[in-house]
């Protein structure tokens, strides 16, 4: 057990899928894993462990935002020996060619700062996905008939944005979508020699104002879960 995760040692798999939403964690585990069991519910941040095609997998909610993700990812890596972390998140599209429900594989994640900025200090670190996972996810998506968008995303601390000028500049520079965790996940993975990737589904469109209802953000994103699992265990 750690401060924020109640699982016993050995109850967390080396491969973890991380949605922000703990109820999406429960849905993903119950839908895609064999013999899923709840291994932690500290603070209601649900975690489940089961198997996928014989491989042990944990699905652990991360909460919203980089400080929350940082707590769960740090404890998973440092205390439970997790080596592969794949975020399965929702995001807001920032480009006209990206549509609602499209899947995005985040190659890099820009930010103003992450919790790790305090140690990186003046360095503008470039958080990037693990190449093996990214390549496997792109192949898995194609196998499933999904054409993913692959490129840079924006990890922000503010869902309710008061700086439209920032969004404009990031959009102008090709940023595909906005979410709130990937930059810190990639930075922590780099520091601890783990592998990380963010597989995202578009739930909102910043340009059209379209938005999916809450229940679909919880249970409507099957393609990204299947892509994440296939990327973790290719072949
Ligand atoms: O759907 P999740 O994984 O929570 O991700 C996105 O949704 C939340 C905001 O609604 C933020 O956590 C953002 O990153
Ligand atoms: O962080 C997020 C997640 C979904 N949609 C957004 O606009 N922002």
The CATH number of whichever domain residue 144 belongs to comes to: 3.40.50.1580
Yes or no: say if 172 and 94 are a contact pair by the CB < 8 Å rule: no
Examine residue 191 and state whether it is found in any structural domain, yes or no.
Answer: yes
Q: Supply φ then ψ for residue 32, to 5 degrees.
A: -110, -20
Ligand with the closest atom to the CA of 216: 1
Higher pLDDT, 105 or 9: 105
Percent of the chain clearing pLDDT 90 (strictly above):
95
What is the value of pTM for the model shown? 0.97
Examine residue 9 and state whether it is found in any structural domain, yes or no.
Answer: no
pLDDT greater than 90 at residue 215: no
Q: What is the mean pLDDT of the chain?
A: 96
pLDDT greater than 90 at residue 12: yes
Predicted confidence band of residue 40 (pLDDT cuts 50, 70, 90): very high
Examine residue 63 and state whether it is found in any structural domain, yes or no.
Answer: yes
The boundaries of the domain holding residue 43 are: 15-232
Supply the pLDDT for residue 219: 74
ipTM > 0.90 for the complex: yes
Examine residue 26 and state whether it is found in any structural domain, yes or no.
Answer: yes
Examine residue 10 and state whether it is found in any structural domain, yes or no.
Answer: no
Examine residue 5 and state whether it is found in any structural domain, yes or no.
Answer: no
CA atoms within 13 A on the CB side of 207: 13
Q: How many domains does the chain have?
A: 1
Examine residue 4 and state whether it is found in any structural domain, yes or no.
Answer: no
Mapping DSSP to helix (H, G, I), strand (E, B) and coil, where does residue 24 land? helix
Examine residue 82 and state whether it is found in any structural domain, yes or no.
Answer: yes
Q: What is the 3-state secondary structure (H, E, C) of 116-141?
A: CHHHHCCCCCCCECCHHHHHHHHHHH
Supply the pLDDT for residue 68: 98
Q: Which residues have any ligand 1 atom within 6 Å of their CB?
A: 19-21, 64, 89-90, 159, 179-181, 217
pLDDT greater than 90 at residue 20: yes
46-to-28, 55, 186, 213 alpha-carbon distances in Å: 11, 20, 22, 21
DSSP class of residue 35 equals E
Q: 194, exposed or middle or buried, with CB in 10 Å at 0-12, 13-18, 19+?
A: buried
Q: Ligand 1 pocket: which of 62, 90, 161, 177 to mutate (most atoms <8 Å of CB)?
A: 90
Quick count: other Cβ atoms within 10 Å of Cβ 121? 7
226-to-79, 122, 184 alpha-carbon distances in Å: 27, 38, 23
């Amino acid at each position: 057990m750690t401060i924020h995760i109640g699982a016993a040692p050995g109850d967390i798999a080396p491969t973890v899928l991380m949605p922000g939403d703990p109820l999406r964690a429960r849905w993903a585990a119950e839908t895609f894993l064999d013999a899923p069991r709840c291994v932690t519910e500290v603070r209601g941040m649900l975690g489940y462990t089961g198997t996928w095609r014989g491989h042990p997998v944990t699905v652990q909610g991360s909460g919203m935002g980089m400080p929350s993700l940082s707590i769960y990812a740090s404890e998973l890596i440092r205390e439970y020996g997790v080596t592969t972390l794949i975020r399965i998140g929702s995001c807001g599209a920032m480009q006209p060619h990206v549509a609602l429900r499209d899947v995005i594989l985040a190659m890099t994640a820009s930010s103003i700062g992450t919790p790790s900025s305090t140690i990186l200090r003046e360095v503008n670190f470039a958080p990037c996905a693990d190449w093996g996972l990214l390549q496997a996810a792109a192949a898995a998506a194609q196998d499933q008939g999904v054409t993913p968008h692959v490129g840079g995303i924006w990890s922000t601390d503010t869902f309710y944005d008061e700086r439209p000028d920032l969004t404009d500049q990031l959009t102008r520079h090709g940023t595909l979508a906005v979410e709130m965790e990937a930059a810190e996940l990639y930075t922590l993975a780099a520091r601890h020699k783990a592998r990380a990737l963010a597989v995202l589904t578009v739930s909102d469109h910043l340009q059209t104002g379209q938005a999916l209802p809450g229940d679909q953000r919880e249970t409507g994103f099957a393609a990204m879960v299947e892509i994440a699992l296939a990327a973790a265990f290719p072949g």
